[in-house]
């Protein structure tokens, strides 16, 4: 059964591109597009909208990494890059660019399937971590707003912190709103009255 992933392969060498496409087809991936050059990469990526990008470069520079990362939306889809040579700085730059896999060595057919699966798994793991981090940041920001609203109520009504939170919560329940929305509205109204 063919895998429904749309794969974009950036490979300038026609023979290697053919071998890569054949290996992907043998691995069950039939929706493969080959691009022979980086020129117009961002536009082509928008047109093709691949699920994963495989890039085979001989010796990328930091600028090429950043260009590929930006154009391929490395945080929005898995990107695996194969390079012939690298150093610690380039490896760090690849990680910073958000690449899901940065493999030193040729993009040879028998390595494609495990690298592809690893890149997808790593991308999914990183996406989950980003979602959890965003949720934690939002929860912290919400907590700060609620704490500020409790402080306003405590000063205005001369009540304890627990009573202020209970008032926010009961108001939210009465209005069928979230506590954060009531707290935000209270802060906005207070700021308008200053």
- Greater model confidence, 106 or 172: 172
Assigned domain for 129 exists:
no
CATH number for position 56: 3.40.50.2300
Question: What is the rounded CA–CA span in Å between residue 120 and residue 70?
Answer: 18
- CA 146 to chain CA mean position, Å: 29
The predicted model gives 62-86 an average pLDDT of 72
Other CB atoms within 10 A of residue 79 CB:
28
Provide the whole-model pTM. 0.67
pLDDT at 147: 96
* H-helix or E-strand spanning residue 108: none
Instruction: Write down the pLDDT at residue 56.
Output: 77
Number of domains in the chain: 2
Please check the confidence at residue 45 and state whether its pLDDT lies above 50.
yes
Helix (H), strand (E) at residue 5: strand 3-10
In a domain, 183, yes or no: yes
- In the predicted structure, residue 1 carries a pLDDT above the cut 60: no
What tokens were used for 86? 């690298």
Most confident of 101-105, 119-123, 183-187: 183-187
Given a cut of 80, whether residue 143 has pLDDT beyond it is yes
CATH code at position 183: 1.10.10.10
8: helix, coil or strand? strand
Please count the CA atoms within 13 angstroms of the CA of 126 that sit on its side-chain side.
19
Please check whether residue 75 lies inside any domain of the structure: yes
**Cα(120)–Cα(65) distance, rounded to whole angstroms?**
19
pLDDT score for 184: 96
The pLDDT of residue 118 is: 86
Spatial CB neighbours of 173, under 8 Å, sequence gap ≥ 6? none
Chain centroid to CA 52: how far? 13
What is the domain extent for residue 150?
134-193
Name the average pLDDT for the chain.
84
Dist. CA 107–CA 58, nearest whole Å:
10
Can you state the angle between helices 109-157 and 161-175, rounded to 10 degrees? Answer: 110
Give the range among 40-44, 116-120, 163-167 with minimum mean pLDDT.
Answer: 40-44
Residue 116, class by beta-carbon neighbours within 10 Å (0-12 exposed, 13-18 middle, 19+ buried)?
A: buried
44 domain-assigned: yes
Q: Domain for residue 56, yes or no?
A: yes
More confident residue, 181 or 78: 181
């Amino acid at each position: 059964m063919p895998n429904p992933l749309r794969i974009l392969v950036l490979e300038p060498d026609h023979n290697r591109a053919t071998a890569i496409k054949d290996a992907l087809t043998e691995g069950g991936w039939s929706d493969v597009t080959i691009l022979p050059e980086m020129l117009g990469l961002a536009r082509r990526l928008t047109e093709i909208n691949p699920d994963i990008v495989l890039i085979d470069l001989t010796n990328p520079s930091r600028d090429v990494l950043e260009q590929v990362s930006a154009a391929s939306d490395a945080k929005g889809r898995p990107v695996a890059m194969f390079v012939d040579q690298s150093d610690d700085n380039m490896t760090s730059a690849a990680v910073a660019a958000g690449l899901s896999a940065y493999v030193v060595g040729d993009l040879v057919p028998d390595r494609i399937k495990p690298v592809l699966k690893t890149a997808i798994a790593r991308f999914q793991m990183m996406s989950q971590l980003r979602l959890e981090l965003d949720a934690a940041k939002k929860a912290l920001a919400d907590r700060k707003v609620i704490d500020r609203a409790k402080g306003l109520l405590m000063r205005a009504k001369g009540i304890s912190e627990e009573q202020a939170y209970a008032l926010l919560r009961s108001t939210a329940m009465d209005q069928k709103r979230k506590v954060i929305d009531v707290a935000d509205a209270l802060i906005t109204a207070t700021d308008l009255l200053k």
